[in-house]
Structure 1
């Protein structure tokens, strides 16, 4: 088994080549997704002469094979970035109490986590097109440096809001670390073998997300919460140096005759769709902030929430209008979503990520509030889920590499995800812990497999010129889905919990007790002994409501996965075999 995995890894490395400069005689691939009125100018702007993807139709003799050690260095550096980005998304879970205590800001401390996630989700969609223009390597260096500066600033923060701002900076870089690792690997590895490496990437991301809380808690107890951020800086420096010296990608577009470097940079800047980028980021930020505060800090009907959602709709409309009728080179060609596979893969990610993040957030809460276990024990309940993600991600990659197919596997995974979330929704007061842990494996494996499958399907559905921007689309849907999922599930949990508590607890002190329970799970341990079972039943009602929401979202996920079509997974970079 070990020899087989080694051989597979060596074959992948053998098939990975450094991109070369494009041939000027190469014909432009047709774009079936854009109306004829704009097809010529739009496709011209993304043609190989203007794109980093220009090596795709070169023969084997025209390519330069990368040194295996050098290529392995690149992979490791990319995975370091992915790991740290995921780690930073969950690391604050065990830091919030300490940070709130130091800065006396308990009411606003949740923004430390929210700011990072919103920045990641809002800026991820930009990286594909921007690195098509300026190159992958500058984009990776920007992401690494920005993330490193953000982590350093977090460790040196002197106030709560300075820390929140630093988390925004880290989030901008972190979004690029995850999106560009996927895009760059697609530049280097043939599509059919791409799934295996994407599986490794998903495992790395899952490991980082799982380790975040544990690492944060351990470092906080040992050195203090600031070092949880500061210790990431040396690793990101190593990643930056590796990319600087090992990733030898060519300049995406050389200077034209009689053009100096400054004029070349100015011409590249003129290709950037600044208006599209602004409207997209603004729409996502407004929408995600509204989703984050709705049902938690303020009611869904609060004027601030209503106005924010309406403003985000207007900004999304403005973005679509700019991309379709104004931008010469759209940040995201919205016409791509007319394709069934791209539409299906994108929304499969959206609904599935909503469901997954909701369950990951509330399964530990179920163990703490209903089963009365410690936070550490509750955290270990998710280990089987992350093991499932690893098995599903890598297994689906191996399957696609062996068969060149993905559609049937996607439907099987969709059904198994529904079955797994259905099992979780049946848990009760006396369900054995090992049974609940076993239940979480199946959704994890299905999720890991679908993450890999939808990415490969999405890339396979478009000409290679659009490979980067379609990857950005997936990360945009995934990032917003996670934030929306947690916001909606939190609102459902709180509303059901409040209703259940009011129906079960009565008396003169009922409102005081209910108010305390709605604020903190720890209040269960401070209740009179006869009220503890009553409170646990109310929390069980609330937990089940979230798990049923996850089950319902799983059904929608299967429906959107069915929209995808089977596309050829080529075994070569030039998609000729």
Structure 2
């Protein structure tokens, strides 16, 4: 696809030649004055005519790009967001598959790595796609992401062991990270910021629809034909997305033939290695701490130290060594970029804390079925859709976002407070309503903070800053699950050991800490003690979300209002 600038220059040349004829080189000499400004020799009428030609060329070139985008935008948008939907679905589909997979492989202890490995891969590889797509083009990286995701799904379906399945989930996560971030990066090349806000809102609905559908989809497919088909059935849709991208998205424009070795030289391999290693070890630290080993374990200390060392090495490489950094860390000095990154990490921590532990609260404390618990949290996804679409429409209509963003951060904080008031006496309709409110705030913020970040940097930095944003989202997702799990397990364990005593207490505590379903099988005298312990543990997670909600308001408040342009070239 010819860029707007190339097309503009071509049209200027044609229009100028038609209107003005050939200029004499002597009349076109450029004379620089003492202030560094330029004046052009020649007839003033000719200069005015040339300016008029340039203006008309701008209009024609921009109209051509807009027409092209309009004709192919719907198809391309659907193609991109099939991948986004599947990426989100694959992150939650595992919830209903875990028990079946554990039964088949007899590996209950290791089964949580199936979910963790996917999230770690998302967090580790998502930040790399922005710069790589600048070098190799959006289309090439999108096709690679679709291929990696499809291969990962196929390998998941064929997995002969639990650890092979974990490996396959890493491959799928590598591809899923690209499907997620490159969809926004690609639209950034085609759609002006004002219009993009609404499209991103719709895209957020696609993502959350996938996340909401994952558990139900996995359960239905597993009951019908087995858990392996929950992965196999995704492959045709990925292939459809890849074919549509191949047909509708043109490759990276090239003004000259680029030798492959020259492209390889532009890749920051050392920075990429240190970043992936730092994020991976950090995620492993959060994943095993409090779950597999105590937080005081030497393994936690070793992994944490290694992670810190690689973070320091990465920062040094990006600032002092790399000629084309994979993530220019100096961008984080900008308060809007930093605020957006921190906000996205915090809101995803809140979201995952609620989505994992509100169902546990409903099942353990309120005694509802897993199906009913899943139904009751749908209001959160509905709220996300409302927030994303309303924010996209508001930003498209007004070109503003700052106070709307801060207001919705406050709404999210209020929603966290309401969820923290859950008690056995809270009516069901209020529980559903309370969960709708943080959903609205979350949906609004994932749209407004991303558009604010993109608006704060020149066009050439859009890809890498978008990757920063999505990297912090994946980081927040995993941190939210890990830190909420640590709080939950510690509070639950301390309450159970304090309340459940007497003969057989140790066995009862072990049973209920491994499975919520064991509560129903307990002797009647122990049930109230265990239920109250679960209630306290869930409340601990909900209070944690309240603290995160307040920090998120601060993160949003430090950001700045930037212009949301109505043209691709930001005029």
Q: TM-score w.r.t. structure 1 length?
A: 0.88
CA separation of 1:228/1:280 partners in 2, compared to 1, >3 Å: closer, same or farther?
same
> What's 1:179 paired with?
181
> Is the aligned partner of 1:281 residue 2:276?
yes
Instruction: Note if contact 2:8-2:61 (Cα within 8 Å) is conserved in structure 1.
Output: no
User: Per-residue deviation at 1:69?
Assistant: 4.4
2:365 alignment partner, one of 365, 370, 387 = 370
Distance 2:171 2:439 in 1: 30
**For 1:206-231, what per-residue CA distance to the aligned partner results, in whole angstroms no more than 9, with x for missing partners?**
00000001000000000111110000
- Secondary structure in structure 2 of the residue aligned to 1:564: coil
The match for 1:70 is 72
Sort the Cα spacing of 1:148 and 1:294 in 2 relative to 1 into closer, same or farther, 3 A.
same
* DSSP-derived class of the 1:59 partner: helix
C-alpha distance in 1 between matches for 2:59 and 2:303: 53
**Larger CA deviation: 79-88 vs 517-526:** 517-526
Task: Count how many residue pairs are aligned between Structure 1 and Structure 2.
Answer: 523
* RMSD of Structure 2 on Structure 1 (CA): 1.7
Which string of whole-angstrom CA distances, capped at 9 and with x for unpartnered residues, describes residues 520-562 of structure 1?
1111111111221221111110110100000010000001111
Cα distance in 2, alignment partners of residues 274 and 465 from structure 1:
20
Task: Tell whether the 8 Å contact from 1:133 to 1:252 is kept in structure 2 after alignment.
Answer: no
CA contact (8 A) 1:387 1:444 kept: yes
Aligned to 1:480: 475
Corresponding residue number in structure 2 for 1:461:
456
Secondary structure (helix, strand or coil) at the match of 1:529 reads coil
Instruction: Find 2:264's aligned residue among 258, 262, 269.
Output: 269
- For residue 556 of structure 1, the aligned residue among 535, 541, 551 is 551
Counterpart Cα distance in 1 of 2:515 and 2:218: 21
Q: What is the alpha-carbon distance in structure 1 between the residues aligned to residue 128 and residue 305 of structure 2?
A: 23
Alpha-carbon separation, structure 2, partners of 1:435 and 1:363: 13
Report the Cα distance in structure 1 between the residues aligned to 2:133 and 2:255, rounded to whole angstroms: 15
Q: Give the CA deviation at 1:374.
A: 1.0
The reply on whether 1:326 has 2:321 as its aligned counterpart is yes
1:539 equivalent to 2:534? Answer: yes
**Residues 148-297 of structure 1 aligned to structure 2 (within 5 Å):** 148-249=150-251, 251-256=252-257, 264-297=259-292
Q: Contact 2:3/2:253 (CA < 8 Å) preserved in 1?
A: no
Could you say if the C-alpha distance between residues 21 and 247 of structure 1 is closer, same or farther in structure 2, counting changes exceeding 3 Å? farther
From the superposition, tell whether residues 490 and 154 of structure 1 become closer, same or farther in structure 2 (CA, over 3 Å).
same
Give 2:45's aligned residue.
Answer: none
CA distance in 2, matches of 1:518, 1:284: 29
TM superposition shift of 1:305: 0.9
Q: d(CA) in 1 for partners of 2:253 and 2:315?
A: 27
For the residues of structure 1 that align with 2:59 and 2:88, how far apart are their CA atoms?
37
Shift of 1:414: 1.2
Provide the rounded CA distance (Å) in 2 between the counterparts of 1:414 and 1:73: 33
Contact 1:18 1:66 in 2 (8 A): no
Distance 1:273 1:443 in 2: 39
- Give the match for residue 428 of structure 1: 423
CA distances 1:57-82 after superposition (whole Å, capped 9, x unpaired): x8232343316443211110001000
Deviation at 1:359, TM superposition (A): 1.1
2-structure distance, mates of 1:19, 1:236: 28
Structure number, greater radius of gyration? 2
Q: Rate the CA distance shift 1:335–1:67 in 2: closer, same or farther, 3 A.
A: closer
**Residue 253 of structure 1: CA displacement?**
3.1
What's the counterpart of residue 301 of structure 1?
296
Deviations 1:89-111 (A, max 9, x none): 00011111111111111111111
Aligned partners of 2:8 and 2:58 also within 8 Å: no
Alpha carbons 2:69, 2:191 under 8 Å: kept: no
Instruction: Tell whether 2:55 aligns with 1:60.
Output: no
Aligned to 1:96: 98
How far apart, in 1, do the equivalents of 2:9 and 2:273 lie?
Answer: 35
Equivalent residue, structure 1, for 2:385: 390
Partner of 1:497: 492
From 306, 315, 318, the equivalent of 1:311 is 306
Q: Secondary structure at the match of 1:301?
A: coil
Name the residue aligned to 1:508.
Answer: 503
| 1:114 aligned onto 2:109 | no
1:18–1:188 Cα contact (<8 Å) kept: no
Superposition pairs of residues 403-418 of structure 1, within 5 angstroms: 403-418=398-413
Deviations 1:152-184 (A, max 9, x none): 111111111111111110000000000000111
Aligned partner of 2:83 among 61, 81, 84: 81
- CA separation of 1:387 and 1:506: change in aligned 2, threshold 3 A: same
- Paired with 1:252 and 1:551, the residues of 2 have a C-alpha distance of 47
Quote the residue 2:523 is aligned against.
Answer: 528
Q: Is the 8 A contact 2:2 2:253 kept in 1?
A: no
Distance (whole Å) between structure 2 residues aligned to residue 74 and residue 180 of structure 1: 12
* SS of residue in 2 equivalent to 1:225: coil
SS class of match (2:526): helix
Distance in 2 (alpha carbons) for counterparts of 1:293 and 1:273: 30
TM, length-normalised to structure 2: 0.89
Contact 1:124 1:176 (8 Å CA) reproduced: yes
